[in-house]
Structure 1
Amino acid sequence: MVQVWGWLLGPDGRVLVLLEPDTGAALLPGGAPELPDGGDPPVTLRRETREEAAAEFGVPLFLGHLRDPDKPYARLRYAAPLTRLGPPPLDPATGRTHIRLLATPEQALELFDWGSTAADQVNAVH
C-alpha cells in the first residue's frame, strides 16, 4: 500500500500543517488512495487535501518516499505551491475539522515527531 502526503507551500514559503483536534498531533495533508483515484498518487493527494483542509495546490513535485519497516506501506512525499485555502471543512474520513496553520518548514519540523527523516524532507523542500 502507498500513502501520499504533501508539503504545500504558500507564497511566503510557509507550509500547511494540520493538527488533530483531539490530540494536537501535527501532520501534512494526505492519506491513502481510494478506488476513484485510479492509482495516481497526485490525484490521491489532491482529493485528500480538499477533504482535510479545503486546500488546492499547483503542480506537485515528487520528493521521494519513506518506508516503515514495521508497516506494509510506503509514504510518498510531494511538494507543491499552495494556491487556495477555503473555509475549514469537516473531514469525511474522521468527522472532525482539523486545525490548520501555516508554519515555516523548520517550525513544521518541530511539530512533527518524525526523527531524522523529517530533517531530510525539509532539506528537500528547500
Structure 2
Amino acid sequence: MNQVWGWLFAPDGRVLVLLEPGTGVATLPGGSPEEQDRGDAVSTLRRKAEEEAAATFGAPVLLGYVNAPSAPRGYLRYAAALTEVGPERPAPASGRTRTRVLATPEQALSLFDWGDAAADQLAAVHRARRQLGLPRAAPQPVTELTGRTAR
C-alpha cells in the first residue's frame, strides 16, 4: 500500500472534501502510512482523517485499489460514515489548516482530476453508500464546515 484515502459520508449522503490553503486543490482525507500504523490501512486512514480534518468515522467499507497512471503508486480507497468532525485546526505535519467542505460525490469528483477512473470510482462510492445505509445526497451547494458536528 502506498496511500489510503476515504470517502467519508455525512448523514445526508454528502462527503467530506479537503481544500488546500492557497491553491484550492481538492483531496479526500488520507495519505501515506507511518510506522505507528503498523501496516494497517484503516489505522492510517483514521490517523490522517483526525490529523487533516479532525474527523472520526465508523466501520469502513473497502472500495478497492486505484493505480495512479502518472506515478508508480497506488491508492486504497475506503468509504465510511462520519461520526464526528471537530473544530478545524492545523495538520501536525504541515502546519496548514485545510478548508473542509461537504459535497455530493458527483461534486467531489468534479473537483478532482481523476480522468477515466472517476466513473468506476463513483459507482463504487454509491454501492458503499447504499451498504452503509446512507441516502443519496440531494443536489445542493458545496458547504464549508467551520465548527464541530456529530452524528
Counterpart Cα distance in 1 of 2:114 and 2:73: 16
Match of 1:40 in 2: 40
Q: Describe the SS at the equivalent of 1:119.
A: helix
Give runs of aligned pairs for residues 1-126 of structure 1, distance below 5 A. Answer: 1-126=1-126
Q: Describe the SS at the equivalent of 1:101.
A: strand
AA aligned opposite 1:115: G
Q: Describe the SS at the equivalent of 2:110.
A: helix
Write out per-residue CA displacement over residues 67-124 of structure 1, whole angstroms, 9 at most, x where no aligned residue. Answer: 1244232100000001100001211121100000000001101111111212211111
Counterpart Cα distance in 1 of 2:7 and 2:119: 13
Counterpart Cα distance in 2 of 1:100 and 1:119: 24
Counterpart Cα distance in 1 of 2:19 and 2:69: 25
Counterpart Cα distance in 2 of 1:118 and 1:15: 15
Counterpart Cα distance in 2 of 1:111 and 1:98: 15
Instruction: After the TM superposition, list the runs of 4 or more consecutive aligned residues in structure 1 that deviate by more than 4 angstroms.
Output: none
Write out per-residue CA displacement over residues 36-56 of structure 1, whole angstroms, 9 at most, x where no aligned residue. Answer: 000000000000000000000
Counterpart Cα distance in 2 of 1:69 and 1:25: 19
Question: RMSD of the TM alignment (CA)?
Answer: 1.0
AA aligned opposite 1:85: V
Counterpart Cα distance in 1 of 2:69 and 2:80: 27
Q: Describe the SS at the equivalent of 1:64.
A: strand
Write out per-residue CA displacement over residues 6-54 of structure 1, whole angstroms, 9 at most, x where no aligned residue. Answer: 0000110000000001100000000000000000000000000000000
Name the larger-Rg structure: 2
Counterpart Cα distance in 2 of 1:106 and 1:68: 20
Q: Which runs of 5+ in 2 are unaligned?
A: 127-151
Q: Which moved more, 1:12-21 or 1:70-79?
A: 70-79
Q: Which runs of 5+ in 1 are unaligned?
A: none
| Identical-pair percentage | 64
Q: Which moved more, 1:114-123 or 1:73-82?
A: 114-123
